[in-house]
Structures are given as C-alpha cells and as structure tokens.
Amino acid sequence: MKALITRKIGMTSTIDQDGTVRAVTLLSARPCVVTQIKNVENDGYRAIQLGFEETKKLNKAQIGHLKLANIMPKVIREIRLDENNQNDTKDLAVGKELTAEVFSIGDKVVVTANSKGKGWAGTIKRHNFHRGRKTHGGGSYRRPGSIGSMYPQNIPKGKKMAGQMGNVQTTTRNLKIAIVDTENNVIGVTGAVPGPRKGIVLVQEMKTGEPV
C-alpha cells in the first residue's frame, strides 16, 4: 500500500539525460502515522486512515479514537483499499510511520487536493458564457439573461449561474514520481498538482486498470 498525505511546496523543473526539461511539483512528505485499519467484518469495507502533522486542538472523541496511535494529527485522511487484495496491509499496524521511502522513482500515482479558490465569479468567467451585444441598444453585457422556463415553471438543479468558483476536490491521474528525497522528506511529482502552495495533497499509487 503506497499512499502519503503531503503538503505542496511549489514547482521546479528537472532535466533528463536526453536533455528534456520536465515540470515537477515538490511535496513535503513528512512521516504519516497509521491511525486506523478498517476491515469488512467490522466496518463493511477495507480502508486505512493516516494522520499527518500534529496539533493540540482535538476534542475528546478524537483523542479517544487516536489513543492507540499515540499521536494527535492535524490532518486525517482515509484511503480505500482493494476488497480482493488482503496482502496490502500485512506489514501495517496502528502507530506505524510511513515515510517518503514507500514510493520509488517511476511509480504512477494519483493526487487529490482542493483546487485554488477564486471567490465569487460571474457566468462569463465561471462557465465561459458569451457577453451580450454592445450595439443596437443592448444593455445586458455580462448578465446571464433569462434563467426561467415555460415548463415546469421552476429552475432545475445544476443551472449554470454565478457563484463560488474553485476550492473543490480535484483528482489528477497518471502522474509519475520523479524525485524521492528521504533526507529532506520531499517527493517530486511530474506535472502540475491541484491546489495552492501549502495545500494538503493526498498521493496514492495508481491501481491496475484504473482509468487514466
């Protein structure tokens, strides 16, 4: 099981032996601690919970849940596991640390993070609407126009309108590990990773048969 909770540092570039320059995103991969291992018998599905960084602000329920792990993590994420593969957790136990060593250069990974928030945006910026005409008396330049309908006399869910743009969970697949620095707890992923600097990024090994 190869997975880590990381924090985005920024972007750089590497040069291959053939002279090809590749964009690389650097991720801070400080040790993650296994806080819980879920199984089908007790929980109905297989998964593993990881804790990242530390904090002092936890409630009593969280403290009780994390008692066996002996850690007070600031970030907790859960990774679903394959129902048919029972060997992916045989070397894991509650309280064990996972470091950047779990990944190797060339591993294909899937990264998940919240995209950059861009605030409240209109329909032109958010959904690429056309603007209204600026000639022949047109007065609605950037307004969305009519949103109602003759039938069924209501506005359907999912209607494209102005609203919050960005800050949604985004997953990017088929990236590769380009750098593994165990001394500085840093890993590098080819290409761009969603989210701002210092954002939380979940990195998982790409499963066989997973869509690209």
- Domains of the chain by start residue, with CATH: 3-118+163-205 (2.40.30.10)
CA dist 160 and 164 (Å) reads 12
Phi, psi of 45 (to 5 degrees): -160, 165
pLDDT above 70 as % of the chain: 96
Q: What pTM value is reported for the model?
A: 0.86
CB atoms within 10 A of CB 122: 16
Closest CA relative to residue 170, chosen from 125, 97, 98, 113 = 113
Give the pLDDT band (50/70/90) at residue 139: confident
Helix or strand or coil: residue 25? Answer: strand
Query: CA-CA distance, 93 to 32, in Å (whole number)?
Result: 12
CA distance 62 to 36: 12
Task: Give the torsion through C-alpha atoms of 95, 96, 100, 106, to 10 deg.
Answer: -130
Q: Are 190 and 175 in contact (CB under 8 A)?
A: yes
**pLDDT tens-digit readout, 167-187:** 999 999 999 999 999 999 999
Mean pLDDT of 71-95: 84
Question: What is the chain's alpha carbon radius of gyration, rounded to the nearest angstrom?
Answer: 22
Please name the helix (run of DSSP H) or strand (run of DSSP E) that holds residue 124, with its range, or none: helix 123-127
Is pLDDT above 90 for 164?
Answer: yes
Nearest to 72 by CA among 62, 87, 82, 61: 62
> Which residues, in sequence order, are bridge partners of residue 48?
37, 79
Amino acid type, 131: R
Q: What is the per-residue pLDDT across 40-71, written as a single tens digit (0 to 9) for each? A: 888 888 899 999 999 988 899 989 989 888 88
Q: Is the pLDDT of residue 100 over 70?
A: yes
